Amino acid sequence: MTKPAGLLSVDIGTESGRVAFLDLEGRVLASSSRPYALRCPRPGWAEQDPELWWESTVENIRDVLATLSGAQVLAVGVGGQMHATVPVDRSGRLVSRDALLWCDKRSADQCAAVAAQADEGEMLRLTGNAPVPAWTGFKLRWLKENQQEVYDRAEAFLTCKDYLNLRLTGERYTDYSEASGTYLFDARTRRWSPELCDLLGVDPSKLPPIVESSSVIGSVTAEAAKVTGLPKGTPVVCGGGDMMCLLLGAGITLPGQACDVTGTAADVSVYVPQPLYDRRLMHLHHVIPGGGWISFGILDAGGGSYKWFRDTFAAAEVAEARAAGISAYELLNRKAQDVPAGAEGLFYLPYLLGERTLGTSDSRGVFFGLTPRHTLGHCVRAIMEGVAYDLRQSLDLIEAEGIRIEEVRAVGGGARSPLWSSIKADVYRKTIVTLKNFEGGVVGAAILAGLGVGVYKDASEAVQRVVSLEARYEPDAERAAHYERAYRVFKSLHDGLQPLFKEMAALER
């Protein structure tokens, strides 16, 4: 019997790691995942031991190869959580087992110091972004100021997937998607910026060389082959940040294409030729070979708002759904389906975890307009609508720069709800398209691996082979008109509450 030939994809998330073997049509033939721990030693801090990523990856690879005995691995591609800081010494050993993660906020003071010192407009032109704690460069400055021994001993600082690549190949590289998320990368020259490194006080010699995400950076070493079971010499591509791999796996390869990702967080992303230089938007370099950027707005508690509401207020419905053998979300969606568009005047501001660039970290979740008439179903629908209103703000900003968006692809847990997709179509006034059998970032990382070894001619050809569309949701004229009026109310609430959020935060301190 012919042994399957395909691509091995590694996806390292915040709470678990996954490895999948995909055929050249993007079908997952075998998959394995394992959870690992996240440490939050202080409020706003988030750390992880990079060794957990490697251990998880090794075990997952071995499981997948055992399932597909004799499978031919053409190449390996890795996608991983972005903006981590992994210090390694000259021999590649970890200097510290405490990698600061994307969601670590401890460098807020470093961001404020840079913002006060630098010209905001010039920084936007250089980086395409406002200074926020997510960017890796600010974490490095925090390390230099607070853990100088770690900073000094580090020969290089790698990100999550770059560290895995080091363990697989012995090589140290990063790609443009990760470099663009450091605040040390010149968006115009696509090189490390001496000016930004000087501003943040980061030694540029500690930054790895930058290559395309689909570049073959090396091959599996004898040591890595021994522990993983992969054949020695298997090509490994550089890979990319998990968000960018997910967007590639959703087929986002052309300017103007847009994607709505609603999971615990929610974001709306659009492929643009260059950063749009609006501080209310965030920008990362796409993993598509040759250039292009992703402009996006992000909401930290998108699907997380719905989960919070389910867990806190819908215990009876959760039990009812369990008895009926269905998902609690399915039952709650049915209740929301019976509520008219606009939830009869009930609004929800989905800021349980604050905001990034459209508001502040002081923002909080709000139900506005409650009356005795409102039910559980009204609240659920208001949450769905509130998430859509918030993301619409970012779409508006992007379109105001002349980017034409005609349809939005929807992925993540939210895309499994026809009601939520329909609401988004009406609020965005765009066609919403869902995907068949969407597997997330492992598909994008596999495409990059295939590009690196010539399996696919280019990203567009790969997407045509791998990505399949499913349902289409067109905006309804009557509902869209109602939502347009409600959206204006939502924006007024959003802007008007910002001073009160700040006062409330002062009371908590």
Of the candidates 396, 472, 487, 490, which has an alpha carbon nearest to the alpha carbon of residue 432? 472
Residue 269 has pLDDT above 60, yes or no: yes
Where on the phi/psi map is residue 16: left (φ > 0), alpha (ψ -120 to 50), or beta?
beta
Q: What is the pTM of this model?
A: 0.93
- Find the domain containing 69 and state its range: 5-250+438-469
The pLDDT tens digits of the residues spanning 338-349 come to 999 999 999 999
Residues 41, 120: one domain?
yes
- Tell me if 77 sits within 8 A of 445, measured CB to CB: yes
Measured over the CA atoms of residue 479, residue 481, residue 486 and residue 488, the dihedral's sign is positive
* Residue 347, domain member (yes or no): yes
Same domain membership, residue 194 and residue 107: yes
User: Which CATH number does the domain housing residue 185 bear?
Assistant: 3.30.420.40
- Model confidence over 170-210: pLDDT tens digits? 999 999 999 999 999 999 999 999 999 999 999 999 999 99
If pLDDT is split at 50, 70 and 90, which confidence band does 66 have?
A: very high
Do 395 and 497 sit in the same domain of this protein?
A: yes
Residues 131 and 44 in one domain: yes
Assign 478 to helix, strand or coil: helix
Residues 367, 354: one domain?
A: yes
Are 43 and 119 contained in the same domain? Answer: yes
In whole numbers, what is the pLDDT of the chain averaged over residues? 95
Helix axes 315-324, 328-337, angle to 10 degrees: 110
Residue 78 is assigned to a structural domain of this protein: yes
List of E strands, 344-416: 347-349, 366-368, 407-411
Residue 272 lies in a domain: no
- Residue 70 pLDDT: 84
268 found inside a domain: no
H helix and E strand count, the chain: 18, 24
Q: In the predicted model, is pLDDT for residue 1 greater than 70?
A: no
The mean per-residue pLDDT over the stretch 305-326 comes to 97
The pLDDT confidence band at residue 158, using thresholds 50, 70 and 90, is very high
- Is residue 255 in some structural domain? no
The answer on 166 and 66 residing in a single domain is yes
Which sign, positive or negative, has the C-alpha torsion 239, 66, 465, 16? negative
User: Given a cut of 60, is residue 42 above it in pLDDT?
Assistant: yes
Same domain, 46 and 168: yes
Q: How far apart are CA 386 and CA 384, in angstroms?
A: 6
Same domain for 155 and 41, yes or no, is yes
- pLDDT tens across 271-291, in order? 999 999 999 999 999 999 887
- Listed residue (310, 328, 83) closest to 184, CA to CA: 83
**Residue 298 forms part of a structural domain:** no
Provide the domain count of the chain. Answer: 2
Q: Are residues 316 and 392 in the same domain?
A: yes
Q: Is a pLDDT exceeding 90 seen at residue 375?
A: yes
Same-domain status, 244 and 346 = no
According to the model, what pLDDT value does residue 175 have?
Answer: 98
Residue 337 in domain: yes
